[in-house]
Amino acid sequence: MNSKQREPWSIKLATGYNLKNIPLTLATDYNINAGQKDTLNLGAELWILDLLALRMGAEIPSPSGFLSSLGFGIGLNLLDLYQFDYSFSPHSTLGTTQRFSLIVKF
């Protein structure tokens, strides 16, 4: 059999910006994937007293309705040694996705 099959590929262009007067980070990335629609992801993270992070993001175009494009999360920083992160995002194929992570710095 002599068939030519192209390897999948993707390109991601990303940037982020930290605002000077408030602890807010804005981020965006543009994804180009072979054989799929291009997507744009937008996100923001706000730190309150270097203790609590509030996060929100969106994917454009939305996979299946506006609410399925939104994601939310929180982070908790303890003594600059431990960080706990949680995120919640609806997903059209997988259903609701929840992620937990614990970071230990040493």
Domain range annotation of the chain: 10-104
Q: What is the dihedral of CA 77, 79, 83, 86, to 10 degrees?
A: -40
Q: What is the pLDDT of residues 40-87, one digit of tens each?
A: 999 999 999 999 999 999 988 776 666 667 899 999 999 989 999 999
> Given CA atoms 29, 69, 60, 22 in this order, what sign does their dihedral have?
negative
What end-to-end distance do the CA atoms of the chain give, in Å?
A: 55
Percent share of the chain, pLDDT over 70: 90
Q: How far apart are CA 54 and CA 72, in angstroms?
A: 8
Looking at every residue in the chain, the average pLDDT score rounds to: 88
Q: Please tell me the predicted confidence (pLDDT) of residue 37.
A: 86
Q: Please tell me the predicted confidence (pLDDT) of residue 6.
A: 76
List Cβ neighbours of 62 (8 Å cut-off, separation of 6 or more).
Answer: 68, 69
Least-confidence region, from 17-31, 53-67, 92-106: 53-67
Q: Please tell me the predicted confidence (pLDDT) of residue 95.
A: 77
List Cβ neighbours of 66 (8 Å cut-off, separation of 6 or more).
Answer: none
